[in-house]
Structure 1
Amino acid sequence: MEQRVDLLLDAGAIVAESPSWDAKNKLLYWVDIDGKKVHIYDPSKNEDKIINSNQYVGCIAPNKSGGAILAMHHGIYFLNFETEEFTFVCDPESDKPDNRFNDGKCDAYGRFWAGTMNLEEKDPLGALYRIDRDHSVTKMVDKVTVSNGIAWNPDNSIMYYIDTRTKSVFAFDYDLKAGSISNRRVAVKIPDGQGSPDGMTSDSEGMIWVAHWGGWRISRWDPRNGKLIEVINIPVEKVTSCVFGGDDLDELYITTASRGLNTDGLKKQPHAGGIFKYKTHVRGMPTYAYDEKK
């Protein structure tokens, strides 16, 4: 079967990341971490609204009451799309100015999960946090080097999580009601020579889709046995994340990065930092929103 990966938006982002699909408004949210920008893309109009920030933006998720919740260099913020105002929520690592938040996602209960990493990306100085609906924060995993992709299986009994430097996707038993994780184990190991696992999403069949930083691909795996099912080749080396969107949640939106590319490199990868789309044969899991408890 012929693969068809379409360039959706030639954004030229430094590190496009954290694609999130707002099914209600049919919008794709994404961030440029190094560019310190939030993007709101409307596929029906091919329009991309940009909101500038004064700090790194690690990830974005819809906020049920409107706008979005963000994990940034210096903590968790709400963003009002109309006023473009950032409102500080909390910073569990205010004592670690050399750490920043990276990837994150909301669970089906409306909690926000987001992890940190040191700016040097060398030592396990980061952590994964759960931000509850009342804004309280709990550290869930520590000694993380580059906190990255998060996904859940269809019945929310398993949470998957990536610490990029381990080249592994970990699985945890998940209690949705309590928001607790247990029984950590390796679900998928990325073979040498295929880059490192970055962002991730899951589909309605319980499979996971992993972006490969330095691997020119998205890969689909069965996390129950660690077997590779499918490889989607992307014309960019640094593939950062993916999310299901569209009316039927069967369009995979893919983010990429241009970080580190010189003029020569950009000639070979002219669309690095762009957003791509791949029509899948399976329905994906939805993007959940933060459900603030007021």
Structure 2
Amino acid sequence: MSEVITALANCAQLAECPRWDPEQQRLFWVDIDAGRLHAFDPKTGQDSYLQLDEEIGCFAVREKGGFVAGLRSGFVTIDSLAGGITPIADPEQDKPHQRFNDGRCDPAGRFLAGTLNPNKDAYSGHYYTLDLDLSVRKLVGNNWTSNGLAFSPDGKTLYYSDTPRHVVFACDYDVVTGAVTNQREFIRFPHGFGRPDGAAVDSEGYYWSALYGGGRVVRISPAGKIVNTITVPAKNPTMVAFGGESMNTLFITTADTDYAPEKAQYPLSGSLFSVNLPVTGLIEPKFKG
């Protein structure tokens, strides 16, 4: 693809989890390492944020108002960008070195979020389901880094990646019960091509994966074949989200780098980018709990 990519903001250490809210016409996103939940207004270019006391890995807009989020300390609700944090549960309180990393809501309004093991010494990351009654249950796991969570347009296929293993999995998903079955390998990327980080699915059922370390975003068919590539002016794309008035703008978050040669080659690392596409995305479900 030869679409023009625009840098919108350049202020992040580890930008992640972009989420478009069509009602507010704003893009929310996080800077994990800085512990910030951001709100970006494309019309004005204004970016504001809530400063937290710990890392925030993922979040979703809440139907009741505010947000639900996965912090290092577990699941919480956040009233607004002005604050107001209420703990819900920490399913990994016995693993204080781990934190939440990737998450989104399923079509029924449950919040699914996965953890990572920063030490990469055990497959101890898991995805959890935060149900509508705020109960928590384990979903799938044994990952180094839980990432790439997305759903097919009909909600019957759940995708997720384990970034260090270069693989994206697909599973059958029961929207009624929230159960996962029939996990299989969807696509595996060769070393040196980039590692599958965050993702989104478009209205045609194609999976868009940000390839960390690869400087690219790829569009993958439901059959697991790469059909398009977007080159990103940052070494480490982290996640993508569809948004904009027509839902055909792809927002791309990236991570900064402390490695001097890479910083010189990719001075926009850590930026939030956007690109207009000939395909639309899916409206993000809100948390109904």
- Normalising TM by the smaller chain, what interval? over 0.9
Q: Does 1:238 align with 2:236?
A: yes
1:43-98 CA distance string (max 9 Å, x none): 11111111111111101211111111110111011112153121111110111101
Map of 1:282 onto structure 2: 279
Q: Does 1:2 align with 2:15?
A: no
Task: Give distance in 2, aligned partners of 1:83 and 1:244.
Answer: 26
- The alignment partner of 1:191 has SS state of coil
Q: 1:254 aligns with which of 252, 255, 261?
A: 252
Task: Give distance in 2, aligned partners of 1:82 and 1:194.
Answer: 37
Q: TM-score, normalised by structure 2?
A: 0.97
- The alignment partner of 2:93 has SS state of coil
Structure 1: runs of 5 or more not aligned: none
Map of 1:273 onto structure 2: 270
Q: Specify the code of the residue in structure 2 equivalent to 1:177.
A: V
Task: Give distance in 2, aligned partners of 1:74 and 1:66.
Answer: 22
Q: Specify the code of the residue in structure 1 equivalent to 2:251.
A: Y
Task: Give distance in 2, aligned partners of 1:3 and 1:27.
Answer: 22
Q: How does 1:39-118 map to 2 (within 5 A)?
A: 39-81=38-80, 83-118=82-117
Map of 1:37 onto structure 2: 36
Structure 2: runs of 5 or more not aligned: none
Task: Give distance in 1, aligned partners of 2:199 and 2:122.
Answer: 22
Map of 2:151 onto structure 1: 152
Task: Give distance in 1, aligned partners of 2:33 and 2:235.
Answer: 17
Q: How does 1:64-213 map to 2 (within 5 A)?
A: 64-81=63-80, 83-213=82-212
- The alignment partner of 2:164 has SS state of helix
1:100-155 CA distance string (max 9 Å, x none): 11010001110000001122234211111011011111101121110011111111
Task: Give distance in 1, aligned partners of 2:33 and 2:287.
Answer: 24
1:162-219 CA distance string (max 9 Å, x none): 1112211111111111111100001111122211000000011110000011000000
2:157 touches 2:172 (CA, 8 Å); kept in 1?
Answer: yes
Aligned length: 289
Task: Give distance in 1, aligned partners of 2:176 and 2:140.
Answer: 19
2:235 touches 2:262 (CA, 8 Å); kept in 1?
Answer: no
Task: Give distance in 1, aligned partners of 2:216 and 2:141.
Answer: 29
Q: Specify the code of the residue in structure 2 equivalent to 1:214.
A: G
Q: Specify the code of the residue in structure 1 equivalent to 2:8.
A: L
Identity %: 37
1:15 touches 1:259 (CA, 8 Å); kept in 2?
Answer: no
Deviation for aligned residue 1:259: 3.8
Task: Give distance in 2, aligned partners of 1:122 and 1:37.
Answer: 28
Task: Give distance in 1, aligned partners of 2:81 and 2:253.
Answer: 25
Q: Specify the code of the residue in structure 2 equivalent to 1:282.
A: V
Q: Specify the code of the residue in structure 2 equivalent to 1:9.
A: A
Task: Give distance in 2, aligned partners of 1:8 and 1:111.
Answer: 31
- The alignment partner of 1:159 has SS state of strand
Deviation for aligned residue 1:2: 3.0
Task: Give distance in 2, aligned partners of 1:183 and 1:265.
Answer: 40
- The alignment partner of 2:176 has SS state of coil
